[in-house]
Chain A
């Protein structure tokens, strides 16, 4: 018995010492290396069939080779969930080190205290290589992140095969578009659609409205988020939306059930000839519908009498996209900034370009990849020119979803002939000031 007890004691002492050694080694190891948390839409993956996940995987591998003491722990968070997850986390004093934030919701994140300004880190950087410089990321004089990509959030997209069949060219004015839409409409196909459903909080419709206001010479918000289109430009925009349905009959009431997803699916199914959705959907639509050259993009049509850039020039488009932001409570902000800087390097951006994502930096376009004459490269160069020459951005207020919903509901009311464009504009301005603006 005593002998057994001795053996057991010796074994326990060894086991304890061994555990202590392993734990100490772990501690020593963790003191040398740092782990930073990174939120993205995608989980990095070595599967080349998922281009964006693959680009992320390659980027992280190269980063960890360059900085062996920094490990990146990536977490995939769906785009609709980021705010719902991040804002409560920040309220309890925690955030990931780097998080992807969509531009449209940047002010919400600033207001909710989830992200930190990065002025001190980028002060010495040359912003001229970035499309739009730092302005799109600047709110109240501070810079809140680095663009990961740019997109034309409102882009004219069409089935080239249907237009060719009907003997039509790509319309450059809304009036031409209306004519084309009528010719392209059959019993099983609509000529043109826009997303006006509240399923996406009226986002698609609001984005189109912005481009119409800009093209009419107006602006959307000032620095304090007061509405600026309570004028001729705003009225012209609302009148055009009204005319698209009631004068030109380019759209019908089915648009009240349309959003990004249904327009996307309608293009794939061949039940839609033309539409306005984000440029980021192009690759997926082509792939899902096996459409190839039959699905094309073009700049947005403009007003017949000339828009912001003159007669015959396209309408401005909404510049949007995802951005790398520093978490407000980042545990390793210096290392996080190294990762953010790395993710914006041309060597990484070209990988995303191969996945169909428009790089936010001009220098990336010097890569030999862009010398190829492929559909994807042509699209990227078209977008680079369109965004570069005609892209405008907006800083949405933190209460954007209430505002978007208000605008979409009032425009629906206008389309259902319950109010005129003037009344619609007046109601939006009144309700925004009284009920929504903080």
Chain B
């Protein structure tokens, strides 16, 4: 028994520095944000305790509900496009052909750009006045498209830019997993008469499940917390049709300097991230048990 206790204490002892570090970096800011959200603030000064007043204010605001709605559309549309695209490209890149290495470099290029660079590049390319894309449309006799200034196109254009910028990293993750799948499983399946889809469903997908969980959690958080693309491409407009929750928090913090209000919104965003991370884990781990 003493030996077991010793082992436990040793284990905790070795883990403690990491736990302390993670707590400082991750838990302390969350705790501090909750603390600030429960107080009246004036610029960066924390005033008196006001309880849930900041939360009542944000939940009474139709703009906040709009932001949550826009965030969900943005995140889940991006995921619905990015995940299948990444898996498909990973499967294509998983083939043993000479030319594949060249395509690997080309396809992974968007990952090289920072969000800001990507946003500025696409803002120029898609500009309705002097952008090359609209010029090409014009030369083909088509009408110009106001990608980021038209309420019909602004959010879809933002999602498209996001998918283009963010698909390389999940692709790499899926590619790494695919390369660990034993090839003879596919040979055996083909001998047994399995079709391509059946091979994917019963061989590839089970191997990808854990990676899919990681990618889903990672990308969901990335998309929920994304500000740069929105700030550079649309500023949340037109008519708040691209004003995500993260952008709203950014605006409240850095432009309006309403720390109490912004902290309450941050806690809300944190809870959204936590909810979806937990949901994915539950659904995908349940699915894994079935396999």
Residues of A within 8 A of B (CB): 83-84, 87-88, 91, 111-113, 187-188, 190, 193, 197-201, 253-259, 262, 265-266, 269, 271-272, 399, 401-402, 405, 408-409, 412-413, 416, 435
Q: Are B45 and A271 in contact (CB under 8 A)?
A: no
Please, which residue of chain A has its CB at the minimum distance from the CB of B61?
A: A435
Bound CA span A265–B148, Å: 16
Q: Are B256 and A402 in contact (CB under 8 A)?
A: yes
Which of B138, B148, B255 has its CB near the most chain A CB atoms (within 10 A)? B255
**12 sample A-B contacts, Cβ–Cβ < 8 Å, listed by A number:** A113-B43, A190-B129, A197-B237, A198-B238, A254-B129, A254-B146, A255-B149, A256-B150, A256-B238, A402-B255, A416-B238, A435-B61
Interface residues of B in 204-234 (CB under 8 A from A): 231-234
Q: Given A91-B43, A266-B129, is A256 in contact with B255 using a C-beta cutoff of 8 Å?
A: no
Minimum Cβ distance to chain B for residue A166 (Å): 19
Question: Hey, which chain B residues are within 8 Å of A200, CB to CB?
Answer: 235
Q: Are B148 and A269 in contact (CB under 8 A)?
A: no
Q: Are B130 and A412 in contact (CB under 8 A)?
A: no
Residues of B within 8 A of A (CB): 43-45, 61, 127-130, 135, 138, 144, 146-151, 231-240, 251, 254-257
Minimum Cβ distance to chain A for residue B11 (Å): 41
Which of B128, B146, B232, B233 has its CB near the most chain A CB atoms (within 10 A)? B128
Q: Are A254 and B138 in contact (CB under 8 A)?
A: no
Bound CA span A271–B132, Å: 12
Q: Given A197-B149, A265-B130, A272-B129, is A409 in contact with B255 using a C-beta cutoff of 8 Å?
A: no
Minimum Cβ distance to chain B for residue A413 (Å): 6
Question: Hey, which chain B residues are within 8 Å of A87, CB to CB?
Answer: 43-44, 257
Bound CA span A402–B236, Å: 13
Question: Hey, which chain A residues are within 8 Å of B256, CB to CB?
Answer: 399, 401-402
Question: Hey, which chain B residues are within 8 Å of A91, CB to CB?
Answer: 43-45
Minimum Cβ distance to chain A for residue B286 (Å): 42
Q: Are A112 and B238 in contact (CB under 8 A)?
A: no
Minimum Cβ distance to chain A for residue B33 (Å): 16
Name 19 extra pairs, CB < 8 A, besides A91-B43, A111-B43, A257-B148.
A87-B257, A112-B257, A187-B138, A188-B135, A190-B129, A198-B235, A253-B149, A256-B149, A256-B237, A258-B129, A266-B130, A271-B129, A271-B130, A401-B251, A401-B255, A409-B237, A409-B240, A416-B151, A416-B238
Q: Given A254-B129, A401-B255, A412-B237, is A199 in contact with B232 using a C-beta cutoff of 8 Å?
A: yes
Which of B151, B231, B237 has its CB near the most chain A CB atoms (within 10 A)? B237
Minimum Cβ distance to chain B for residue A171 (Å): 21
Please, which residue of chain B has its CB at the minimum distance from the CB of A84?
A: B254
Which of A408, A412, A416, A435 has its CB near the most chain B CB atoms (within 10 A)? A412
Please, which residue of chain B has its CB at the minimum distance from the CB of A113?
A: B43
Question: Hey, which chain A residues are within 8 Å of B148, CB to CB?
Answer: 197, 257
Question: Hey, which chain A residues are within 8 Å of B235, CB to CB?
Answer: 197-201, 259
Q: Given A88-B44, A112-B257, is A198 in contact with B129 using a C-beta cutoff of 8 Å?
A: no
Q: Are A262 and B238 in contact (CB under 8 A)?
A: no
Question: Hey, which chain B residues are within 8 Å of A198, CB to CB?
Answer: 234-238
Question: Hey, which chain B residues are within 8 Å of A256, CB to CB?
Answer: 146, 149-150, 237-238
Q: Are B128 and A257 in contact (CB under 8 A)?
A: yes
The 3 A-B pairs with the shortest beta carbon distances in the complex, nearest first, are A257-B149, A198-B237, A199-B235
Bound CA span A234–B114, Å: 43
Which of A111, A187, A254 is B128 in contact with, Cβ under 8 Å? Answer: A254
Minimum Cβ distance to chain B for residue A289 (Å): 12
Question: Hey, which chain B residues are within 8 Å of A111, CB to CB?
Answer: 43
Please, which residue of chain A has its CB at the minimum distance from the CB of B138?
A: A187
Question: Hey, which chain A residues are within 8 Å of B61, CB to CB?
Answer: 435
Please, which residue of chain B has its CB at the minimum distance from the CB of A255?
A: B149
Question: Hey, which chain A residues are within 8 Å of B234, CB to CB?
Answer: 197-199
Question: Hey, which chain B residues are within 8 Å of A188, CB to CB?
Answer: 135, 138
Bound CA span A399–B257, Å: 9
Which of A199, A257, A271, A401 has its CB near the most chain B CB atoms (within 10 A)? A257
Bound CA span A188–B144, Å: 10
Please, which residue of chain B has its CB at the minimum distance from the CB of A111?
A: B43
Please, which residue of chain B has its CB at the minimum distance from the CB of A200?
A: B235
Which of B130, B148, B233 has its CB near the most chain A CB atoms (within 10 A)? B130
Bound CA span A408–B45, Å: 30
Please, which residue of chain B has its CB at the minimum distance from the CB of A259?
A: B235
Bound CA span A132–B237, Å: 36
Question: Hey, which chain B residues are within 8 Å of A262, CB to CB?
Answer: 127, 129
Question: Hey, which chain A residues are within 8 Å of B45, CB to CB?
Answer: 91
Question: Hey, which chain B residues are within 8 Å of A402, CB to CB?
Answer: 255-256
Question: Hey, which chain B residues are within 8 Å of A255, CB to CB?
Answer: 149
Question: Hey, which chain A residues are within 8 Å of B147, CB to CB?
Answer: 257
Bound CA span A193–B128, Å: 12
Which of A88, A187, A188 has its CB near the most chain B CB atoms (within 10 A)? A188
Bound CA span A113–B147, Å: 41
Please, which residue of chain A has its CB at the minimum distance from the CB of B257?
A: A87
Q: Are B44 and A257 in contact (CB under 8 A)?
A: no
Bound CA span A376–B232, Å: 32
Q: Are A257 and B255 in contact (CB under 8 A)?
A: no
Q: Given A254-B146, A254-B149, A257-B127, is A112 in contact with B237 using a C-beta cutoff of 8 Å?
A: no
Q: Are B238 and A412 in contact (CB under 8 A)?
A: yes
Question: Hey, which chain A residues are within 8 Å of B240, CB to CB?
Answer: 409
Bound CA span A255–B251, Å: 22
Minimum Cβ distance to chain A for residue B123 (Å): 8
Bound CA span A258–B131, Å: 13
Q: Are B129 and A253 in contact (CB under 8 A)?
A: no
Question: Hey, which chain B residues are within 8 Å of A412, CB to CB?
Answer: 237-239
Minimum Cβ distance to chain B for residue A281 (Å): 16
Bound CA span A399–B149, Å: 26
Please, which residue of chain B has its CB at the minimum distance from the CB of A270?
A: B130
Question: Hey, which chain A residues are within 8 Å of B239, CB to CB?
Answer: 409, 412-413, 416
